[in-house]
Structure 1
Amino acid sequence: MVHDDNRRVGSREQSVGENESTDSERGETRRRTFLKGSAVALGASAFPVTANRASAHGDESDERDRIDRVDTATSDEGMVASSDPRASTIGADVLEAGGNAVDAAVAVQFALNAVQPHTSGIGGGGFMLVYDAGEDELYSVDNRERAPFGATPDMFLEDGEPIPFDERITLGQAVGVPGTLKACDIALKRFGTRDIDDLIGPAIDLAGGARVDYYLGSTIEEEHEKFNDAARAVFAPGGTPLDIGDRVEQPDLAATFETIAEEGVGALYKGDVGEAVADVVQENGGSMTPADLGAYNVTIDTPEYVEYGDVTVRTQPLPSSGGLTIAHILSLLEPFDLGQYDRQSVEVSQLLVEAFKLAYADRGEYMGDKQFVDAPWQGLLDEEYLDERRATIESGEVTTETQQPGDPWSYQPGSPYAIDPLTVDDVSTIRDAPRPYIPSPRGSTTHFTVADDDGNMVSWTSTIEQLFGSGIMVPGQGFMLNNELTDFDAEPGGPNEVQPLKRPLSSTSPTIVFRDGKPLFTVGSPGGTTIITTVAEMVINLVDFGMGLAEAVAEPRLYANSEPAIYPEASVPEDVQDGLRELGYELSPFTRLGNVMTIRVDQETGEYTGAADFRNGGLTRGL
């Protein structure tokens, strides 16, 4: 049983939140030998090619404090990092009891459904990378939600205009057929050693009653007005939102978990639970039927990869745009030898911003569900195309208008077999349409990662889209439903238009980085479209700047897409922000971006170091 003071009862009882700094593991900064003259264009000659840290810009004690706030642990037997201490402890207990990384990851997912119902759960979906050490192979378990058979390309239009985004997210039409529970089942059958009924017990206890922490309490306060009656009864009983420190009791969720333990996942995909899902979706205007749930299955795919320096970055393929976009960003940046600069400098920040803008412009133009749309993946990563796109960065150009996509199809063999690239007029129409807000810096998704003593690793990003998803709880079943279909374009005509059975474009980017063919570190984050840049920056921090794991997680981040504004964390040094403004950029600072969970492997000793971000809370637990 798990108690609300975040301690586990049993032989492993210990306090939560111990922080073992890993600053000493920093390696030497790597140097690259090719530069293509861009440093001069960016004014590098005015800066020393020396220290790669931010201390020259601010108070070193502030930097040290940020690093110390990253929760870390080391172990040579196993590691769990998640956004909730109770979930991390449950996962570690599974490892301690002889389960493998996949077993522990499934237990973590169920626990998070109970204690962080605003970020993930069996009413949502996601993407999961599994490294099978015995096979020495990496697999992607794609459990992205799908549009029901009754979905139509114009279902988010009213009188020919997009329904306002803040209305769209609460519609039954926004709910995709959920995949998380099916992923748990398939992953256990393919890679695990335990059954669901062996792993769901702790989550049943948590659903019976658990303490509301800061992140859940503050989110309930912000989001409770969109709840349906079932959700309001749980999280705002009597109309009063639960507060931090209160006890949240979810008896319907506990009963649903017990049903799943007894009947298996068929309870959702072929049984009464699924019928309740379809009923409430239809009551809210959607078309989902029990047949849609019965037809759902996950896919097991080959991850995307990109070579970056001496590592291979392997991450999620389409329909997540994360893999191709991260690969595109890193490929654009590699010749610039980022490690020669101060990490927190105008030079590095401008390079990142311009690469982000180019990659996001192509992301929005060409990417969609690969089962429906052909994406020019070869063209995007073609060296000649990269040189063409990189030329604007080399010139020192400051992009203050919306970045335009390139033409990777000119560098791609063949032609698209599904939807043709949009015309200029089409692009202008879609870009002028009302746009969703930038995702909350606190994230409406969760990422967790696990490693076991056999070398198996899991990197799993799980989501219900917005915080508390659609706001629709399934009556009598106790879990929230996603609003993932709002990730489709509201206006038809592009590669990411709504179609029946199609998966909407995603940004989730669970990643495992390899060196010399062996895992080096896992990484992932919540944060909507900011996930892509957060993961790319983690790779850059560790590979280009040789940072220790805690240092890389603590490093201030920034985000940009194809639109004019850029979004630095408030912790980005003021002189860097001022320098970017002087160049002509429009800045909209965020308090925080992302919430990284990561595990690094010492390839000589096999020891794991785990790190959990302080931005939205978390805990690492080593055996």
Structure 2
Amino acid sequence: MKIARPLLAAPFLAALLLSACAAPDGKQDVSVSEAAQSAAEAAASETTDAAQEAADVNAWTKGAMVAAANPEAVEAGLEILREGGTAVDAAIAVHTALGLVEPESSGIGGGGFMVYYDHASGEITVFDGRERAPAAATPEYFMKDGEVMDFISSWQSGRSVGVPGAVALYKSAHDAAGKLDWEDLFQPAIKLAEDGFVVERKLAATLASDRLQQYVRLDDLPESSAYFYPDGVPLAEGSIKTNPAYAETLKRIATEGPSAFYSGEIAESIAYAVSHDPSLPGAMTVEDLANYEVAVRPALCGVEPDGYKVCSAPPPSSGGVTQNMILGLYDRLKPTGEEATEEGFLKAFVDAQRLTYADRDHYVADADFVPVPAAELIDPIYLDVRATEAFAPDEHATPGDPGIALGRGPMRQMWGEDPTDHRPGTTHFSIIDPYGNAVSMTMTVESAFGNSVMVHGFVLNNQLTDFSREPTKGGKPVANAVAGNKRPRSSMSPTLVFDPEGDLFMVTGSPGGNSIVAYVAKTLVGVLEWGKSAQEAINLPNIIARGDVVGVEVDREGGPEAAEALREMGYNVEERQGENSGLHVIIVREDGLEGGADPRRDGVALALE
């Protein structure tokens, strides 16, 4: 994969693209024991010098940065970094603040994935805080009278709530890579909740959306209605809002640890709200909360043809599979030499997505419950074969079979086709600390404001609708069907990129439901293939090619031209506006850090002074 800029200037891609010791008289005047001590001190000095020299070689000199979806959350992270905290410490501060200022997207009532890079050791670790289904859940969890429940009824119910993983993720990551005291990490968000935060454009617009109010219960349920719609009016942009209940919840977690959340009053409130939901009760119990565990996993990494290593979260996340597949397939499909045109680059990006999404939808699920051929899907041999299977623009996209390609026997027939949709109610932030450690973290409550139920100052997720509500298809089980304690498949793709020398190069990720896969891939292709800066890559129009329709964001520069070019190629193009990406990217350049924040949200990327 070479960094190659598009050749032409068509609008749609132009917008894209150590000493001895002697006496003064010169005679030796040192006893045997003194000589031994002197030799030991000299050796120790040499060891210290060598260690210091090694540390100097590995010293991080690029600075620190936080990129997130809200300025006050970014400031919370920078405050922790100023106090000497690590990227993990800052991530906890950022996310607890985001749960306050951006509650439509994430919070402690949800979960997500953290990909952490330790600069000193070079290790990459994934903390999987994805929500789990209650132990009593069965594959028929979303069936009623023999029929599959519709999405709205499933979403706005207790049945949709998974056991939240965010707080447990905080603790697992902090135990592994935190530096500041646990209690200190919650203080910025507590202060914001008590003193008040500024209601930003996105929160205000979401609350005022007639379309949202048509489907959710947020303005009907007592606690959420009183908080988000005081006196029946949605919170206004620029107003100051406090959340004393959330402050008290964070104080308890800060002083008592995760047990304050997973047992006692808070856990009982969550379980009661879920199991007594008047729309449709769920099966969650206090035992489910007490038994929640974070899964610590190795990252799933692939090495691109020119030596860049792309690492993201393994299943049930889609990141490691999809980002490596799209990049690998793009490299195989892109035109070269005299045949290289901007239209050809665009077509290669679309076709790589269509192939990848078809495979992701079929195979990716919770690998603790079902076999997921993650390594096989990103194997270069399979990608060579899969690239030859690119669909004509008017063909239906279907999954491939890595088992056949790798000579291991067919795999595709294990599972029924899975059409699961994923709704956009998510946030992403990227952090590099002064020590060179990095965090790429995507967190969610699933749809906007989760399932609308609010307890103790935070909303509950509707993450279980990320499972396939239909447990079988064509007489075969669906890989992503519901099961007790199982984690639903996720589109979240928190990603780290390393250069051919193995040094950290890029931190990226985005919210956006199933479109996350395409959003994140856009930044990788934009930077690695088209030579874009972080902000230029983010600003490119979003193009999402899942299934038989190619969605093109036409209210961004270059979008209308891309839509028209793809339509002329024969693709079924759907023109879209108001895309919900929230890309936050940091790139390590020779002279320091380069950040970018998605203008589609309220975020910023700020360096530590």
Q: Same fold (TM over 0.5)?
A: yes
1:463-506: CA deviations, max 9, x gaps?
A: 100010111111xx111000000000001121100000000000
2:585 to 582, 585, 598: 598
Distance between the aligned counterparts of 2:168 and 2:259, measured in 1?
9
Map of 2:451 onto structure 1: 470
Distance between the aligned counterparts of 2:339 and 2:388, measured in 1?
23
Q: AA paired with 1:531? A: I
Q: AA paired with 1:460? A: M
TM alignment of 1:82-121, pairs within 5 A: 82-121=68-107
Shift of 1:597: 0.6
Q: TM-score, normalised by structure 1?
A: 0.83
Map of 2:35 onto structure 1: none
Shift of 1:318: 0.4
1:218 equivalent in alignment to 2:222: no
Q: AA paired with 2:283? A: S
SS of aligned partner of 2:236: coil
Q: Percent identity?
A: 36
Q: After superposing the two structures, state which structure 1 stretch, 342-351 or 95-104, moved more.
A: 342-351
The structure with more radius of gyration: 2
Q: TM-score, normalised by structure 2?
A: 0.84
SS of aligned partner of 1:529: helix
TM alignment of 1:304-453, pairs within 5 A: 304-308=300-304, 309-337=306-334, 345-393=342-390, 398-411=392-405, 421-422=414-415, 426-427=416-417, 436=421, 439=423, 443-453=424-434
Map of 1:145 onto structure 2: 131
2:442 to 461, 466, 472: 461
In structure 2, relative to structure 1, the CA distance for the partners of 1:101 and 1:570 (3 Å cut) is same
In structure 2, stretches of 5+ residues that fail to align are 18-60, 472-476
Map of 2:487 onto structure 1: 503
TM alignment of 1:457-536, pairs within 5 A: 457-474=438-455, 477-492=456-471, 493-515=477-499, 516-536=501-521
Q: After superposing the two structures, state which structure 1 stretch, 268-277 or 502-511, moved more.
A: 268-277
Shift of 1:581: 1.3
More relative contact order, 1 or 2 (CA 8 Å, 6+ apart): 1
In structure 2, relative to structure 1, the CA distance for the partners of 1:202 and 1:539 (3 Å cut) is same
Distance between the aligned counterparts of 2:300 and 2:336, measured in 1?
25
SS of aligned partner of 1:120: coil
Checking the alignment, whether the CA contact within 8 Å between 1:81 and 1:449 is kept in structure 2 is: yes
1:121-146: CA deviations, max 9, x gaps?
A: 11000000111112111110110000
Checking the alignment, whether the CA contact within 8 Å between 1:448 and 1:524 is kept in structure 2 is: yes
Q: AA paired with 2:114? A: M
Checking the alignment, whether the CA contact within 8 Å between 1:29 and 1:339 is kept in structure 2 is: no
TM alignment of 1:275-294, pairs within 5 A: 275-284=268-277, 285-294=281-290
Q: AA paired with 1:381? A: I
2:3 to 13, 20, 30: 30
Checking the alignment, whether the CA contact within 8 Å between 2:335 and 2:345 is kept in structure 1 is: yes
Checking the alignment, whether the CA contact within 8 Å between 1:234 and 1:248 is kept in structure 2 is: no
Checking the alignment, whether the CA contact within 8 Å between 1:557 and 1:593 is kept in structure 2 is: no
Shift of 1:239: 2.2
1:296 equivalent in alignment to 2:259: no
Shift of 1:199: 1.4
Distance between the aligned counterparts of 2:232 and 2:341, measured in 1?
46
Distance between the aligned counterparts of 1:196 and 1:508, measured in 2?
26
Checking the alignment, whether the CA contact within 8 Å between 1:525 and 1:595 is kept in structure 2 is: yes
Distance between the aligned counterparts of 2:13 and 2:159, measured in 1?
50
Shift of 1:338: 6.0
Distance between the aligned counterparts of 1:91 and 1:538, measured in 2?
23
Checking the alignment, whether the CA contact within 8 Å between 1:399 and 1:564 is kept in structure 2 is: no
SS of aligned partner of 2:329: helix
1:540 equivalent in alignment to 2:537: no
Q: After superposing the two structures, state which structure 1 stretch, 568-577 or 268-277, moved more.
A: 568-577
TM alignment of 1:35-184, pairs within 5 A: 52=6, 55-57=9-11, 76-184=62-170
In structure 2, relative to structure 1, the CA distance for the partners of 1:54 and 1:596 (3 Å cut) is farther
SS of aligned partner of 1:588: strand
Checking the alignment, whether the CA contact within 8 Å between 1:188 and 1:195 is kept in structure 2 is: no
Map of 2:264 onto structure 1: 271
Shift of 1:59: 12
SS of aligned partner of 2:582: coil
Distance between the aligned counterparts of 1:249 and 1:161, measured in 2?
43
Shift of 1:298: 0.6
For the aligned residue pairs, the C-alpha RMSD in angstroms reads 2.6
1:70-125: CA deviations, max 9, x gaps?
A: xxxxx933111111001111111111121111111111011111111111111000
Shift of 1:245: 2.0
In structure 1, stretches of 5+ residues that fail to align are 1-27, 32-50, 68-74
Q: AA paired with 1:491? A: E
In structure 2, relative to structure 1, the CA distance for the partners of 1:54 and 1:528 (3 Å cut) is farther
